Amino acid sequence: MSKTEIIIFSKNRTLQLKSLLTSIRHCSDILEDQITVLYTSEPDIPYDQLIDEFHCTFVLQEAFLDDVKRIVDNADSSYICFMVDDLIFRDLFSLRGIESFMDHNGDMDCFSLRLGRNIQDGKEPEFSSRDGNIIVWDTSEALGTTWKYFWEISGSIYRKDLVSKYLRK
């Protein structure tokens, strides 16, 4: 049983969403019932075919912040993963392995599926390694000044209590 709720944001991009969901099927141990897709749609860009093909929960966006809060509050999980519909995985990864890593490293607030030594935030972070192949760095000095907001939503996993606390602000 997974400890992570995956929330994918999609706006009128069914082809990109299909590519992401297909890559998740092939590159990870994520189950479709762990995924909630929060989407907006135009009449000429229907999501019906994706809703039929994938066994995710599809939520038509009504009020974005309220919708996100509701999804997070109703998630029976320890972690929340945010993704956007134009993300595609090309390498294998294990969500169960990431959950185990987060469980054993309580000082880690976030696990990114795409960031690594490629990041800079005014200066290069001091990288270290845990568990052999996991790169870690401390973001407390800059706290997301590169992105101008707290969350990086292109494939990052956060502790649910941190997400809930931030959404209440």
State pLDDT tens for residues 1-33.
Answer: 679 999 999 999 999 999 999 999 999 999 999
Q: How many CB atoms lie within 10 A of CB 74?
A: 11
* Distances 58 to 32, 36, 138, 151 between C-alpha atoms, Å: 11, 6, 35, 22
pLDDT digits (tens, 9 = 90+) for 81-119: 999 998 898 889 899 998 998 999 888 888 877 655 455
Specify the pTM. Answer: 0.83
Place of tokens 């270290």: 128
* Distances 117 to 90, 101, 145 between C-alpha atoms, Å: 18, 19, 17
Residues 55, 47: Cα–Cα separation, whole Å: 13
